Structures are given as C-alpha cells and as structure tokens.
Amino acid sequence: MLHIYFVRHGETVWNTLKIFQGSSNSPLTSLGIEQAKKLSIHLKNIEFNKVYSSPLGRTIETTKLILGDRNLEIFPIEEFKEISMGKVEGIARVEFEKNYPIEYHNFWHNASEYNPVAYNGESYNEILKRVRKGLNKLISENIDGNILVVSHGVTLKALFTLINNKGIDEFSKQPIPENTSTTLVQYDSEKFKIIKFSDTEHLK
C-alpha cells in the first residue's frame, strides 16, 4: 500500500500581498519558514521512501526545511508546478479583477468557463491533464511505502479533484489546502482514498 503525503508550500511574500504567483516565484516569509520547520518536527517519525517537489523555488525551499538533516534526494516533478497565470503573474488580485473581470470571476467560481487566453495563462482543463500525468508517474514509480510531495494551492486542488473523481464542473467547489498543510492519500488496488485533508495540526 502506498501513502502519499501531499504538502502545500509555506506562506510566501506574495501570498501576504494577495499577488498571483503562478509559475513565477516569491520567497517564503519568516512565518512560512517557521511553518515548514514545525511540519518537519511533525513528520519526523515518518520514513519517506522518496521525495518529490515542484521545481519552483518556494516549494524546493519548503521541501528542504521539511527534510532538515535527512539525507534524501529531492526529485523535481514538473507536472506539479503551479498553474501558469501568464501575464497576470506578479500583479495584485484587485488589478487582475479590474483588467479581466470575467476571467477573474471564472477563475474562482466557474472553472469550466475559465479562459485565460487573453493573458496567455493555463486553463483548468490543461492543469487537470498535467497533474493526471504527474499522478500516474507517482504510482508507476512507487509501489508501497511513504512518499512526500510538495506542491501548490491550485495544483493540489486539481489533484484532489481528480482523486475525488470529480470533473471540471466540480472544480470550483473544491477547497484549496492551507500553507504547509498535509493531505494524506492512500493508494491501493488502483484506488485513491483521502485519509486526512489539509491537516495543520503542527501549526496549533
């Protein structure tokens, strides 16, 4: 049986400023670093067979903090990087909403109608296809044991949409996990099961 520990990166500077990050990067805040260190302590007794991380800086930084002094290689997984927001990366949400009101609304509330062509972003159908490929990679490379996967809010939302057997019409209803939360997913006999979603016990 395979146990996958999906973790969202720690809080970043752009998180606090409500700026879209997407494929761009923003460093962890002091709180984000503290969150990751607390998670490291929380997961210290879990023996990970393999560790994956989105290749973006905020996820790699979070992964290193979680691993601490463990001598484990971090395997970058392109399929689990954050959704690309194209030309609206690095701008505030209020500016995004002002310039692209329809796209902004659909981004949050109507995934099936979200069309980011105007600013060269990635659609929800595209990210669902991408993360499905990454999910298939995980189960093809790991038979059993525990693996750690550090990724991003919207990407994890897409992953859990697939794991819950939901389609694009249900995407917007799925919650985004908290920073440095752990979602434990069990895989056995070709079936996924979420054991615990967005656990932040380490932050209490």
Domains of the chain: 2-203 (3.40.50.1240)
Determine the Cα–Cα distance for residues 3 and 153; give it in Å rounded to an integer. 20
Q: Residue 106: its pLDDT value, please? A: 96
Give me the residues of the chain with pLDDT under 70, please. Answer: none
Q: Residue 204: its pLDDT value, please? A: 87
Determine the Cα–Cα distance for residues 62 and 125; give it in Å rounded to an integer. 27
State the pTM of this model.
Answer: 0.96
The pairing of beta strand 182-188 with beta strand 2-8: antiparallel
Query: Torsions phi, psi of 4, nearest 5?
Result: -110, 120
HSE of 193, CA atoms in CB hemisphere, 13 A: 9
For 72-82, letters b (16+ CB in 10 Å) and e give: eebeebebbbb
Structure tokens at 35: 């969150």
- Report yes or no: 157 and 124 within 8 Å, Cβ to Cβ: no
Residue 12 is given by DSSP the state: B
